Amino acid sequence: MRKLLSRLPQRPQPFFVRFAGATAIMAACIGTQVAMARFSGLPGLVVLVLGIFAATILFDRISGYYAALLGTASTFLIVRHLFPELEPAPLPVILLGVGIALATASDALRTAMERAAGAERAKEVLFHDLAERMNSNLAIAISLLDMQRRAHDNPDVGSALSSAADRISIIAEGQQSLRPEQAGLVEMQSFLGRICEHLSRSVEATRSIEIDQEIAPVTVSAEKAVVLGLIANELITNAIRHGFPGQRPGRVAVSFARDDKAGELVLTVADDGIGYPPDAPEGFGKRLVQGLSLQHCGRVIRASGSPGCRVEVRIPAAGPTG
């Protein structure tokens, strides 16, 4: 709608512009209508009606009324000179009635379109303002957690605070990925890609671990996107921490796609590390992944690789948060 309005002249225009423009449009339509009448041997109104519509949409309702009067007069002359056997009154009267009604309706249509475009612009401004406020608040929370982490000598406390900051960063990424024109949807290829790149940068200076991505361009609701982002962050982080002890090099593969046959969103994180021991204690990360998956009626499937570990999370693609 906004693209269409941007191609139309701004309203209001000077009187001379409207008068000259409507006259030129109707002159072209009258010439076309005369040629069609001579070729077909039948009087017609279609081209004149289109001219009235164009004059109204391009200019205003008064221009449409003026175009309707020009069309009425031309119809009378066309019938009188090209079809003398016909009564000249009915067609001009019909065109005048149709033209006035069309000009009124067309002007109302453009006014409604302009109001809708204005409301859309206002919504975008409000959206960006709220998004900036939200991102600012999240950035403050991350900074506070980082300050707390630096203030603690206990490595376990520092690690927990760092993980909390990372999780808030995922939520912030989800907010930044929202666009007002997408009605609360997030494109997962760029969203998950940024998470993988962030984690890759965080380890590349000290570890020789590569993070491969195979993420389909799937769009999901913002709520599911944040959940999937948090799950991906936990799984990749756990794979790096526990799958590659010491300075062991390795590779983590992240994939995401929509399984249309099963109607599910599938997130997979696999590594070629030492694998996942079946008797490993259940940490907070594992509980978080399980809880977030169950929140959306999903399931977590763990399997030992050869070598390494593979975790697959399946969440229904449709649903109340879909």
153 or 92, which is more confident: 92
Nearest-angstrom CA–CA distance, 201 and 135: 22
Please enumerate in sequence order all residues whose Cβ is within 8 A of that of 77, keeping only pairs 6 or more positions apart, or say none: none
Q: Exposed/middle/buried for 149, CB within 10 Å: 0-12, 13-18, 19+?
A: middle
Residue 321: predicted pLDDT: 42
- HSE-CB for 285 with a 13 A CA cutoff: 20
- The predicted model gives 224-230 an average pLDDT of 87
Residue 133: predicted pLDDT: 65
Work out the pLDDT band at 214, boundaries 50, 70, 90: very high
Residue 281: predicted pLDDT: 65
309 or 247, which is more confident: 309
Identify whether 12 is preceded by a cis peptide bond (ω within 30 of 0): yes
Work out the pLDDT band at 79, boundaries 50, 70, 90: confident
Residue 264: predicted pLDDT: 93
User: Which amino acid is present at 175?
Assistant: Q
Beta bridge partners, 158, equal none
275 or 35, which is more confident: 35
Residue 255: predicted pLDDT: 94
**Is the pLDDT reported for residue 116 higher than 70?**
yes
Contact between 29 and 50 under an 8 Å Cβ cutoff? The reply is yes
Beta bridge partners, 250, equal 209
Residue 320: predicted pLDDT: 42
**Is the pLDDT reported for residue 46 higher than 70?**
yes
Lowest mean pLDDT among 32-36, 157-161, 260-264, 290-294: 157-161
**pLDDT by residue (tens digit) across 81-101?**
888 877 777 888 888 999 999
Work out the pLDDT band at 256, boundaries 50, 70, 90: very high
- The predicted model gives 245-266 an average pLDDT of 89
| Distance (Å) of CA 176 to CA 156, 187, 199 | 30, 11, 18
154 or 272, which is more confident: 272
- Burial code (b: 16+ CB inside 10 Å, e: under 16) for 278-300 equals eeeeeeebbebbbebbeebebeb
In order of start, what are the domains of the chain with their CATH numbers? 2-119 (no CATH), 184-316 (3.30.565.10)
**pLDDT by residue (tens digit) across 234-251?**
898 888 888 888 778 889
**Is the pLDDT reported for residue 322 higher than 60?**
no
Residue 268: predicted pLDDT: 94
159 or 79, which is more confident: 79
- The predicted model gives 215-240 an average pLDDT of 88
Nearest-angstrom CA–CA distance, 97 and 93: 6
| 3-class secondary structure, 272 | coil
Percent of the chain residues topping a pLDDT of 90: 23
**pLDDT by residue (tens digit) across 170-210?**
666 665 665 555 567 888 898 888 888 888 887 776 778 88
**pLDDT by residue (tens digit) across 7-27?**
777 878 888 898 999 999 999
Percent of the chain residues topping a pLDDT of 70: 80
Residue 72: predicted pLDDT: 92
